[in-house]
Amino acid sequence: MAKSKELTAAKRRNLAELTRGLRGIVLFLFLISGTINILALTGSLYMMQIYDRALSSGSIPTLVVLSTLAIGLYLFQGGFDVIRSQVLVRVGSRLDRKVAPLAHRVAIDMPRFGFSTSEALERGRDVDTVRGFLGSQGPAALFDLPWMPIYLAFVYFLHPLIGALTFAGAFVLTVLTIVSEILTKRLSLSTRKATLARNTIADCNARNAEVLKAMGFANRAVSRFNDANGEHLELQTKANDITGTFAAVSRVLRMLLQSAVLGLGAYLTIKGELSAGAIIACSVTAARALAPVDLAIGNWKSFVAARMAYQRLRDTVVALAGAEEPMKLPVPARRLSVEKATVAVPGSGQVVLSDISFELDAGQALGIIGPSAGGKTSMVRALTGIWPVLRGNVRLDGADLTQWHQDEIGQHIGYLPQDVSLMDATIEQNICRLEPDPDSRKVVEAAQAAGVHDMILRMPEGYRTQLGPQGAALSAGQRQRVALARALYGNPFVVIMDEPNSNLDGEGEAALTQAIESIRMRGGIAIVIAHRPSALVAVDLVAIVQGGRMVAFGKKQDIMTPGLQSTAKPVVDEAVSEELQEQVRRPA
């Protein structure tokens, strides 16, 4: 209960931080909008005075004074309008600076939990949507709407019948706005889902461009995208039809009302109940009264999109409130323990590992083998904290991974994934993990430990060589060795490698073996997942994972010796080849 209250308080603090200072800004914009709308009566009053005073009296000085006063009031109105616009733009920039880093952090985490890249990047697009809306005419229309009674009161003061007619027009346009909201809300949700589906396919096609080109099924990929894009366009067209139709109807009604006011004013003038100047003033004021509604309907689509984006950003801020700031712990140096860990695939909830338990002490190296789809890579994701364990614990020196700060735990874990992906940065920035002021000595040490230092020196700009997107400037083997150097940077306590030799030549495999030995010698822990036996030469422990369970764990020579009476023996025969058994029997 206490923890729930603390979490609720944290959410409130995060939301308060998101909106801190906005109430004062909104009040300021509301008041300045009132000033703008009062000054917008200048045109109506000017015309009325011109017709009723200057023309009837034929006085040039009266005309000059009225015109000078009107010009001054127009300048004030324009100045306040500029201030309002600039304040709204800066509010959008301030929101962007606050929320964009949080949204990007969530975007980085979302793929770990089963979301597509497009869904993850949508958080960044949400920030752009809200900022873009604040810089448009939509907010001005919303701030002007509450001041419509000023114009209605002015028209009513000139004549009650014209005031009633203007009020009726405003009521009809308000109803149109509400109906537009109801009809577009559901369509907006469907359109968003269709947009995500289309973007996901586009992202998938871009990431597999080489495969599509090499094997000649790019046209089928484009056709698949075209189907998703067709659904997106159909929903987008429906939404645009609704907003466009209501915008056109509102404009026609506004023009019709303006003419009706003019006609009714002429009738009342003929009857002697209204002056000639008041006719023009009523027509202009009625049009100005309904302009915010017309503008709001025209911008309703962007308003709905901005509102939905802001709600998702609020959810993002609330979600981050659940992450407590852990206490700083000592640098781990003794052991890694896994206690009955059960791992499920984020998103689907499918259990891929059950009741995994083992313990590694400093200076040990574990090789994990087993058939494909047995759960080896899932274990790696649990050991690194990429996937949270469903049950059980993964501990460093007795502390669960969740008790470490995300950035801090990264200093104690080195990770070489199966699918190597390097940052679009220099080799140095990749190895040092984007540290702002890296220690060049540590960078070189990591490169030497991975056996890639000489190769880097032979490159055009050495460690400052730009790699381009996905490390395109390097071969697959070079990328793997640079990624190994990144995993070794800073001598992390635990280094986990998933298929580390899949793209390596003989020289690279020798460097990998030496790196594992170096980790053990300095008191670290190495974990290697391998199908090729050469990666297991330097390990002293072997685990066999099959069918989502660890079916064997022990010393390499005990697990892999043929003829040993062990419950693991039948599994060993299935999971590994004779060549593998021969290789891993070599002493570490």
Which pLDDT value is given to residue 577?
45
CB half-sphere exposure, 366, CA atoms < 13 A: 26
- Helix/strand/coil for 461: coil
- DSSP state letter for 50: I
Joined together, the tokens standing for residue 584 give: 């891993």
Domain ranges of the chain: 17-321, 332-412+493-588, 420-491
CB half-sphere exposure, 305, CA atoms < 13 A: 26
Q: Say yes or no: do domains 17-321 and 420-491 share a fold.
A: no
Find tokens 């793997």 and name the residue: 480
Superfamily of segment(s) 420-491? P-loop containing nucleotide triphosphate hydrolases (3.40.50.300)
How wide is the angle at C-alpha 240 spanned by C-alphas 239 and 242, nearest 5°?
65
Residue 152 near residue 173 (C-beta atoms within 8 A): no
Instruction: State how far Cα 377 lies from the chain centre.
Output: 26
Give the residue among 133, 131, 132, 139 at the shortest CA–CA distance from 32. Answer: 139
Which pLDDT value is given to residue 72?
93
CATH number of 332-412+493-588: 3.40.50.300
SS3 assignment for 406-437 = HHHHCCCEEEECCCCCCCCCEHHHHHCCCCCC
Which pLDDT value is given to residue 263?
87
- Helix/strand/coil for 529: strand
Residue 447 near residue 398 (C-beta atoms within 8 A): no
Find tokens 């974990």 and name the residue: 527
Tell me the one-letter amino acid at 150: I
Which pLDDT value is given to residue 13?
56
What string of pLDDT tens digits covers the 588 residues of the chain?
A: 444 444 455 455 555 656 666 788 889 999 999 999 899 888 888 888 888 788 777 788 888 888 999 999 999 999 999 999 999 888 888 888 888 887 787 777 777 776 767 777 777 788 888 888 888 888 888 888 888 888 888 888 888 898 888 888 888 888 887 887 787 777 777 887 888 888 888 878 887 777 777 777 888 888 888 888 888 888 888 888 887 888 788 778 878 888 888 888 888 888 888 887 888 888 888 888 888 877 777 777 788 788 888 888 877 776 665 556 677 888 888 889 989 889 888 777 788 888 888 899 999 999 988 888 788 888 888 888 888 888 888 888 888 888 887 777 878 888 988 888 888 888 899 898 888 888 889 999 999 888 889 888 988 888 898 887 767 778 888 888 898 999 999 889 999 988 887 777 777 788 888 888 889 998 999 999 887 676 788 888 888 888 888 888 888 887 765 543 333 443 444 444 444 454 444 444
What is the DSSP code string of 357-389? EEEEETT-EEEEE--TTSSHHHHHHHHTTSS--
Q: 17-321 sits in which CATH class?
A: mainly alpha
Please list, residue by residue across 370-408, b when 16 or more beta carbons sit within 10 angstroms of its beta carbon and e when fewer do. Answer: bbeebbbbbbbbbbbbbbebbebbbbbbebbbbebeeee
- Cβ count within 10 A of residue 362: 17
pTM for this prediction: 0.70
Distance (Å, whole) CA 17 – CA 547: 48
